[in-house]
């Protein structure tokens, strides 16, 4: 005969497993969204490669430098920061990376916050003065 505690523990585990199964069955991932995300990421990576090639590797050097100096930046934030350091404006960054200008502005805001910059400090000058 099973110990009542073990039986109740086993029932609890089984309930949890069943709950997760039901949750997974009721959850659907939009299949059309996944390929779209892959396409946009691939397009952005291709655009980055072209930008870097045209700059003679300058942007990759900036990216490497910024990722080492500011590890709290996400990869995308570091990419945007590298392009800002390379004197590109937000609308140019959005066009070149195939992202919305608002997305670039959001990245700029998060970069400024993570670097502790105030509203009166120029992000491009700050990034350009970092060595």
Output the pLDDT for position 2: 47
Output the pLDDT for position 52: 84
| C-beta separation of 58 from 52 below 8 A | yes
Both 63 and 109 in one domain: the answer is yes
Both 71 and 21 in one domain: the answer is no
| C-beta separation of 77 from 114 below 8 A | yes
CATH of the domain at 44: 1.10.10
Digits of tens for pLDDT over the chain (131 positions)? 445 544 555 566 566 666 666 666 666 555 555 555 566 778 888 888 888 888 888 888 888 888 999 999 999 999 999 999 988 999 999 998 888 999 999 999 999 999 999 888 888 888 887 65
Both 9 and 45 in one domain: the answer is no
Q: And the tokens for 1?
A: 């005969």
- CA-based diameter of the chain, in Å? 76
Output the pLDDT for position 9: 55
In sequence order, the 6+-apart residues with CB closer than 8 A to the CB of 117 are: 123, 126
Both 12 and 36 in one domain: the answer is no
Output the pLDDT for position 47: 84
Domain span at residue 11 reads 1-30
Both 93 and 65 in one domain: the answer is yes
Both 54 and 19 in one domain: the answer is no
Residue closest to 81 by CA, chosen among 99, 91, 67? 67
Q: How many domains does the chain have?
A: 2
| C-beta separation of 63 from 49 below 8 A | no
Both 39 and 26 in one domain: the answer is no
Both 78 and 68 in one domain: the answer is yes
From CA 91, how far away is CA 99, in angstroms rounded?
Answer: 10
Output the pLDDT for position 102: 95
Both 11 and 70 in one domain: the answer is no
């Amino acid at each position: 005969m099973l110990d009542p505690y073990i039986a109740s523990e086993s029932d609890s585990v089984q309930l949890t497993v069943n709950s997760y199964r039901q949750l997974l069955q009721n959850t659907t991932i939009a299949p059309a969204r996944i390929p779209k995300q892959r396409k946009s990421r691939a397009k952005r990576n291709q655009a980055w490669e072209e930008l870097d090639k045209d700059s003679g590797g300058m942007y990759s050097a900036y990216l490497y430098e910024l990722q080492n100096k500011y590890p709290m930046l996400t990869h995308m934030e570091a990419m945007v920061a590298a392009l800002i350091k390379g004197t590109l404006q937000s609308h140019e960054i959005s066009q070149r990376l195939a992202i919305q200008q608002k997305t670039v502005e959001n990245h700029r805001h998060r970069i400024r916050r993570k670097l502790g910059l105030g509203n009166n400090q120029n992000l491009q000058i700050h990034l350009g003065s970092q060595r």
